[in-house]
Amino acid sequence: MKNINLTLSVALFAACIILAGCQPQPEQPTGNQPEVNQDDTRVIKQFFDEALTTRETYQLLDHLCNNIGHRLSGSEGAAAAVEWTEKVMTDYGFDKVYKQDIMVPNWKRGDKEIARIVGSKGDLSVLALGMSVATPAEGLTAEVVEVQGLDDVEALGQENIEGKIVFYNRPTDQRLIQTGAAYGGAVDQRSAGPAMAARYGAVGVVIRSVGTAFDDVPHTGVTSYRDSIPKIPAAALGVLSADRLTEALKQNPNTKLFLKMNCQTLEDAPSHNVIGELTGSEFPDEIITIGGHLDSWDVGQGAHDDGTGCMQSIQVLRLFQKLGIQPKRTIRAVMFMNEENGTRGGLKYAELAEKNSENHLIALESDGGAFSPRGFGVTAEDATIEKFRSWLPHFDQNTISYIKKGGGGVDIGPLNRTLGTPTIGFIVDSQRAFDVHHSPADVFSSVHPRELELGTASIAGLIYLIDKYGL
Amino acid sequence: MKNINLTLSVALFAACIILAGCQPQPEQPTGNQPEVNQDDTRVIKQFFDEALTTRETYQLLDHLCNNIGHRLSGSEGAAAAVEWTEKVMTDYGFDKVYKQDIMVPNWKRGDKEIARIVGSKGDLSVLALGMSVATPAEGLTAEVVEVQGLDDVEALGQENIEGKIVFYNRPTDQRLIQTGAAYGGAVDQRSAGPAMAARYGAVGVVIRSVGTAFDDVPHTGVTSYRDSIPKIPAAALGVLSADRLTEALKQNPNTKLFLKMNCQTLEDAPSHNVIGELTGSEFPDEIITIGGHLDSWDVGQGAHDDGTGCMQSIQVLRLFQKLGIQPKRTIRAVMFMNEENGTRGGLKYAELAEKNSENHLIALESDGGAFSPRGFGVTAEDATIEKFRSWLPHFDQNTISYIKKGGGGVDIGPLNRTLGTPTIGFIVDSQRAFDVHHSPADVFSSVHPRELELGTASIAGLIYLIDKYGL
């Protein structure tokens, strides 16, 4: 009877395969060579198991996004996030939890911006750029000069720019597979475009949002002025709004834009980096840093950018703890403050590391969002990169499939420049990142729990191997 | 002046990097060895450029999903999709466009199902399983036996099962990184569970939806009966509804479930595979098949499963055409009909291939959804797999990062079994796939255009190399 039933099960299952719609796909290795320490593979598998089943990174991120919200430097949200992450790490019982004091820029958006094509119905979708000055209280109206980049402004010169609003409208390059590269190729319009336009007498700047989606979500981000040049108000238009403006200019080259922005920069405010540590058992003075940045822009919830990196860093330490692994070296989870508009946290961290003669083995930053892992970028000696590559077989290739030369993060850059510390950037699938980056769309509901947790476990895996074997 | 301005640009850009928030990331190679034919790399890059800038796969999928909708075998949607894809390929001017006649199962869901815990307020979220029989017109009420799998049913035996509704409630294993493996490990409850329960006298079956999300979206899919055993109605509950039912059973082991389903299976209906060809210039008799399945379940829009694979297959041919590449071999885009509940299209395709003594070099199927590419799974001789691996440097590792042994698809399986044709499965990032699979959530708005187009270009790249160099 048992045998008959077993036969039935097998037959039914076979029928299911033939009749399709089920396609069982046994989990199998994906081509990586197998000559690695199987104990290490088992530990790393446990990181993944724990992260994927408890989803604790996701739970923390939920709290950060939905109970605290966005966290621009100097804001109440940023202060609440400092307090809360300190408590979270204290409650986990990490060996040390402490803060580093810093002073941060204190920019306020003020009332919602307005951008409107004069004579047209309906406002444009707009967000002031971070650190921008305000328009006059009654707003600003001027003709618009559309350009494709900073070079155009130089070529047009003062006679064509003076008294106008410069409209930077060069789109991101959709051909680039890594959207970070597409962003990098267009962001000079935002970061340096306003100062360049001001140099030639422009009275304001609007840019086409630096993102990858064809929608009307405006993307903010920092802009930088020059002390010797007047500061002019600068804002980002949603991509569809930018298209509306360019269309209006085609119809009428004398189209005027009305812009009203209410931002201001207050005195620098006190804030903090927040640090949790597991103390090394053999080499407590050798420090491995894992970090993200706790501040975000003042729209959305800073879920991908970069609540994710912070919650992942905390969870890497928790995974060690949960599995009963005491690291040989000291591992720090660092919530850096003020990545978005000043890097004061990263600069302070490096300054204190130098002042205290700390020995930093390596630092890793996660700041690409809560998307599926793809690889690590490593700024280190070739031998280290080769060593990391020899560890690839520990990872399912649907998580970490490559180690590339070159990588790090904005917050750990100063450590590299000051102490020469090697750095690692955690690389995720970037296709959706710049749809939400620096925008109201960067919210918790856009985070997939499994993609987020795969990131946590991938980072934990690499850090475990570095801690055990060194560089 | 020019120099000063240049200096200003550079200084502003440097300031932007230091002040952060911009992080330009130059696109660079990701560690693959460089000793490959650079002309091929350029061609493949053009596939990506074209796909990412025109987004034509996305446009086609938009039409299929939003103008035609879901497409269960035998439905009006399926017939419309046959007609439309034939027209699309004809309009592109492919060398040959034709259909293969098949007869398909013709199952109808009928009026919306109802599942309700007797004595409880609010219906459960439910979908009849595909090919299920109906309940009696007045519905069915019975006590519920919760089990974790088919073995439990055998162990409980007739005395505990007879007259009851069996509730299969084993969740998918969240620890598995490839969600297809998690699905494969749970789907026997859906495909073979009803027949097993019927064998022991059950009057109905409900299952916990085989998906990866913790929500209340019900996931359908085919179930198979046995001729010698009575057919009983079977349905899938949303995961949260399954949790409600298990909770109710904890409170009261005699909990009864009311189930009303109105499905019926009509006479087999005529339908078609739809095929478009580019004829080979040197070896026209050597056939390379690229396919997806045109049918879908009768909920949602069949966007990921598998409008994606069909539209990608068409677009691979268009990319060849657009770049002016005449293939050496004959390349076919095949829209297979009836993958979901019968595989009649795949079986007919193989049958005709054998009958017509066709020479099939290899066949590829895309049926994992419109997510970022990760690799290819290949069922072929080791030398072929090694050859494919030698081509990896042509691909950015954020698209195709590995070739693994073993892979194919439901529709091309018969070709492999009949003629021994090697097969390739296109592997995508699977984290979100089983949140929407076989459910009302499988809609166009859940498709990301860049992720979809990266798939098209990745497949085109591999097919280009196979066509040029053989196996």
Q: Does B149 touch chain A (CB under 8 A)?
A: no
Answer whether B404 sits within 8 Å of A195, measured CB to CB: no
Residue A129 confidence (pLDDT) above 50? yes
Task: Say if the Cβ atoms of A404 and B28 lie within 8 Å.
Answer: yes
Chain A contact present for B28, CB below 8 A: yes
Residue B31 domain flag: no
What was the pLDDT predicted at A68?
98
Quick one: B231 and B295 in the same domain? no
Please judge whether A401 and B19 are an interchain contact, meaning their C-beta atoms are less than 8 angstroms apart. Answer: no
The verdict on B169 and B300 lying in the same domain is no
* Domain co-membership, B153 together with B300: no
Cβ atoms of B362 and B408 within 8 Å: the answer is no
Instruction: State whether B190 and A22 contact (CB < 8 Å).
Output: yes
Closest C-alpha to B127, from B27, B205, B22, B15: B205
Q: Residue A358: inside a domain, yes or no?
A: yes
Residue A450: closest C-alpha in chain B: B431
Is residue A260 within 8 A of residue A109, CB to CB? The reply is: no
CB-based contacts of B448, cutoff 8 Å, min separation 6: A431, A432, B370, B371
Of B8, B11, B221, the CB nearest to A22: B221
Q: Measured between CA atoms, how close is A2 to chain B, in angstroms?
A: 8
Question: Within B357-470, where are the H helices?
Answer: 382-390, 413-419, 433-436, 449-469
- pLDDT-derived band at A108 (thresholds 50, 70, 90) equals very high
Q: What is the amino acid identity at position A217? A: V
Bridging pattern class, strands B256-260 and B114-117: antiparallel
**pLDDT at site B47:** 98
Query: 3-state DSSP call for residue A121?
Result: coil
Percent of chain B residues past pLDDT 90, beyond the cut: 92
Residue B252 buriedness (CB in 10 A; 0-12 / 13-18 / 19+): exposed
For residue A423, is it within any domain?
yes
**What is the residue type of B101?**
D
For residue A397, list chain B residues with Cβ-Cβ distance below 8 A: 374-375, 401-402, 404
Whether B32 is in a domain gets the answer no
Q: How confident is the model at residue A35 (pLDDT cuts 50, 70, 90)?
A: confident
Chain B residue with the nearest C-alpha to that of A31: B404
Residue B20 lies in a domain: no
Q: Of the residues A262, A287, A306, which one is the last residue of a structural domain?
A: A262
pLDDT on residue A376: 98
Question: Is the pLDDT at B252 greater than 50, yes or no?
Answer: yes
| Residues of chain B contacting A451 with CB distance shorter than 8 Å | 431-432
* Domain termination site, one of A233, A262, A291: A262
3-state helix/strand/coil string of A139-205: CEEEEEEEECCHHHHHHHHHHHHCCCEEEECCCCCCCCCCHHHHHHHHCHHHHCHHHHHHHCCCCEE
Query: Distance between CA atoms of A299 and A292, rounded to whole angstroms?
Result: 18
Largest CA distance in chain A: 95
Is residue B299 within 8 Å of B373, Cβ to Cβ? no
Q: Are A226 and A314 found together in one domain?
A: no
Look up tokens 């040197």; give the residue. B282
CB contact (8 A) between residue B180 and residue A25: yes
Give the pLDDT confidence of B309-364 residue by residue, as tens digits: 999 999 999 999 999 999 999 999 999 999 999 999 999 999 999 999 999 999 99
Using a CB–CB cutoff of 8 Å, tell me whether A434 touches chain B. Answer: no
Shortest CA gap B199–chain A (Å) = 10
Q: Is the pLDDT of residue A12 over 80?
A: no
Amino acid letter, B280: G
Is A32 a residue whose pLDDT tops 60?
no
Contact status, residue A380 vs residue A405, Cβ threshold 8 Å: no
User: What is the structure's pLDDT at B33?
Assistant: 52
- How many of the other CB atoms lie within 10 Å of CB of A349? 29
More confident call, A133 vs A35:
A133
Can you give the CATH number for the domain in which A167 is found? Answer: 3.50.30.30
Average pLDDT over residues A241-246: 98
Contact B21 A454 (CB under 8 A): no
Give the model's confidence band at B34: pLDDT under 50 very low, under 70 low, under 90 confident, else very high: low
Q: Convert A277-309 to b/e letters by CB count within 10 Å (16 or more is b).
A: bbebeebeebbbbbbbbbbbbbbbbbbbbbbbb
Encoded tokens for A329: 């070296």
**Would you state the pLDDT for residue B133?**
98
User: Is A13 a residue whose pLDDT tops 80?
Assistant: no
**In this prediction, what percent of chain B has a pLDDT beyond 70?**
93
Can you give the residue range of the structural domain that contains B341?
Answer: 38-107+267-469
Alpha helices in B103-199 (DSSP H): 150-161, 179-184, 188-191, 193-199
B239 and B296 belong to one structural domain: no
How far off is chain B from A24, nearest CA to CA, in Å? 4
B353, B333: one domain? yes
Res B4 pLDDT > 50:
no
Please report which confidence band the pLDDT of residue B368 belongs to, taking 50, 70 and 90 as the band edges. Answer: very high
Interface of B with A in 193-222 (CB under 8 A): 195-196, 199, 212, 221-222
Calculate the alpha carbon distances from B183 to A85, A349, B283, B345, B411 in Å.
Answer: 36, 45, 40, 24, 19
Q: Which chain B residue's Cα is nearest to A376?
A: B30
Residue B1: band (very low, low, confident or very high) from pLDDT cuts 50, 70, 90:
very low
Comparing A10 with A379, which gets the higher pLDDT?
Answer: A379
**Closest C-alpha to A72, from A215, A179, A177, A220:** A220
Q: Which amino acid is at B174?
A: Q
Among residues of chain A, what percentage have pLDDT more than 90? 92
> What local confidence, expressed as pLDDT, does residue A214 receive?
96
> How sure is the predictor about A21, in pLDDT bands with cuts at 50, 70 and 90?
very low
Contact between A340 and B399 under an 8 Å Cβ cutoff? The reply is no
Question: Is A28's pLDDT higher than 50?
Answer: no
B102 and B75 both lie in a single domain = yes
Least confident of A4-18, B52-66, B114-128, B419-433: A4-18
Interchain CB contact of A108 with B (< 8 Å): no
What is the pLDDT at residue B383?
Answer: 98
Q: Which of A294-308, A350-364, B22-36, B400-414 has the lowest mean pLDDT?
A: B22-36
Chain A from 258 to 317: CB within 8 A of any B CB: none
* B317 and B461 belong to one structural domain: yes
Q: Are residues A275 and A223 in the same domain?
A: no
Mean pLDDT of the residues in chain B: 94
Contacts of A167 (CB under 8 A, 6+ apart): A144, A145, A146, A147, A205, A206, A207, A208, A242, A245, A246, A249, A257
* Chain B contact probe: residue of A73, A349, A431 with most B CBs at under 10 A: A431
Please provide the distance, in angstroms rounded to a whole number, between the alpha carbons at the two ends of chain A: 60
Residues B174-206 pLDDT 10s: 999 999 999 999 999 999 999 999 999 999 999
pLDDT at residue number A33: 52
Domain presence at residue B128: yes
Is the CB of residue A9 less than 8 Å away from at least one CB of chain B?
Answer: yes
Confidence of residue B35 (pLDDT cuts 50, 70, 90): confident
CA distance A23 to A13: 11
Do A224 and A142 reside in the same domain of the chain?
yes
B24/A184 Cβ within 8 A: yes
- Work out how many CB contacts closer than 8 A connect A with B: 275
In this prediction, residues A83-89 reach a mean pLDDT of 98
The answer to the question of residue A277 being in a domain is yes
B392 touches chain A (CB under 8 A): no
Q: Does one domain contain both A158 and A199?
A: yes
Q: Which pairing describes strands A140-147 and A165-168: parallel, antiparallel, or unpaired?
A: parallel
- List Cβ<8 Å contacts ≥24 apart for B51-56: B51/B315, B51/B319, B51/B453, B51/B454, B51/B456, B51/B457, B51/B460, B52/A174, B52/A175, B52/A177, B52/B450, B52/B453, B52/B454, B52/B457, B53/A174, B53/A175, B55/B449, B55/B453, B56/B315, B56/B318
What order do you get walking across the sheet with A96-108 strand by strand?
A96-108, A264-278, A329-336, A283-293, A359-365, A423-428, A373-379, A402-405
**Which class for B366: exposed (0-12), middle (13-18), buried (19 or more C-beta within 10 A)?**
buried
Q: How many domains does chain A have?
A: 2
CATH at B465 = 3.40.630.10
> Does residue A55 sit in the same domain as residue A202?
no
Residue B17 lies in a domain: no
Sequence-distant (≥ 6) Cβ neighbours of residue A152 within 8 angstroms? none
Residue A4 has pLDDT above 90, yes or no: no
Taking CB atoms and an 8 Å limit, are B18 and A343 in contact across chains?
Answer: yes
Decide which of A262, A289, A304 is a domain's last residue.
A262
Mean pLDDT of all residues in A82-106: 98
* Helical residues (DSSP H) of B200-343, grouped into ranges: 239-251, 308-322
Q: Say which of B212, B222, B429 has its CB closest to residue A19.
A: B222
A142 inside 8 A of chain B by CB: no
Q: What is the predicted pLDDT for the residue at B21? A: 37
pLDDT of B135 above 60 = yes
